[in-house]
């Protein structure tokens, strides 16, 4: 049985992918190329610097380390300005209810996200208090599909990975959860998330 639940943020609790997309698109435009919504799929669950690497590859642009850091910072400023307007109405259907249901059952809850803006987003959504631990992009060095984020999350909950269930929308995240030794519920399309133990369309299916 599940003693701990570890949630990814973007795509599971809130759809911040659209704001990431707008910010990356603005950067691409400055650099003189088009960045499509389809291209953006490749950035889901991927860290900021790896996302930038993919973006520059799509645009066929070479840039040194200092320049890359500047670009990433520019993108993040744009992103932070749009997520500053987030409010609880943007929590994905069923997410809050499911978190509350799990708490009621005594299940420990952690966040396992690649985002360095995770704590800010949780507070904007008004659900920070529902998490016993927050492991995010400020605390881990290896990006998904590396299991680090989920190993750290289960440890922070005082549980073994095998006692935890990971909820993930990205293929790299599902892979990371399995590599950590957790059970994984994929959220989205079974075609993309076939490595998960179970795939659902959204957390509303579980309440
Ligand atoms: P930041 P998740 C990920 O969040 C996003 O899916 C990904 O698109 C983003 O690049 C990454 O966070 C880093 O975000 O730039 O805010 O540090 O799905 O792991 O919750
Ligand atoms: Mg995600």
Residues 6 or more apart whose CB falls under 8 angstroms from that of 30 comprise: 74
Q: How far is CA 11 from the centre of its chain?
A: 7
Residue nearest to atom 16 of ligand 1 (CA): 115
Tens-of-pLDDT digits for all 207 residues of the chain?
899 999 999 999 999 999 999 999 999 999 999 999 999 989 988 899 999 999 999 999 999 999 999 999 999 999 999 999 999 999 999 999 999 999 999 999 999 999 999 999 999 999 999 999 999 999 999 999 999 999 999 999 999 999 999 999 999 999 999 999 999 999 999 999 999 999 999 999 999
CA 22 to chain centre: 17
Q: With a 6 A CB cut-off, is 122 part of the ligand 1 pocket? A: no
Q: Is the CB of 43 under 6 A from ligand 1?
A: yes
Name residue, tokens 């919504």.
37
The phi, psi pair for 199, rounded to 5°, reads: -125, 130
Q: Is 113 in the pocket of ligand 1 (CB under 6 A)?
A: yes
Q: Whose CA is nearest to atom 5 of ligand 1?
A: 45
Total-model pTM? 0.95
């Amino acid at each position: 049985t599940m003693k701990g639940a570890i949630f990814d943020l973007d795509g599971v609790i809130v759809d911040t992918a659209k704001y990431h997309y707008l910010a990356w698109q603005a950067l691409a435009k400055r650099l003189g190329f088009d960045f499509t919504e389809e291209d953006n799929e490749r950035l889901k669950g991927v860290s900021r610097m790896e996302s930038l690497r993919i973006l520059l590859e799509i645009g066929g642009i070479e840039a040194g380390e200092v320049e890359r850091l500047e670009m990433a910072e520019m993108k993040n400023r744009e992103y932070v300005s749009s997520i500053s307007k987030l409010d609880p109405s943007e929590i994905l259907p069923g997410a809050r209810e499911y978190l509350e249901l799990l708490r009621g059952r005594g299940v420990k809850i952690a966040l396992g996200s690649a985002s360095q803006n995770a704590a800010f987003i949780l507070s904007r959504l008004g659900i920070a208090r529902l998490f016993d631990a927050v492991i995010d992009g400020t605390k881990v060095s290896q990006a998904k599909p590396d299991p680090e984020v989920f190993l750290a999350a289960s440890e922070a909950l005082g549980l073994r990975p095998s006692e935890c269930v990971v909820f993930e929308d990205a293929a790299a995240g599902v892979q990371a959860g399995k590599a950590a030794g957790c059970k994984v519920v994929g959220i989205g399309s079974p075609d993309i998330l076939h490595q998960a133990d179970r795939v659902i369309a959204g957390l509303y299916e579980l309440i």
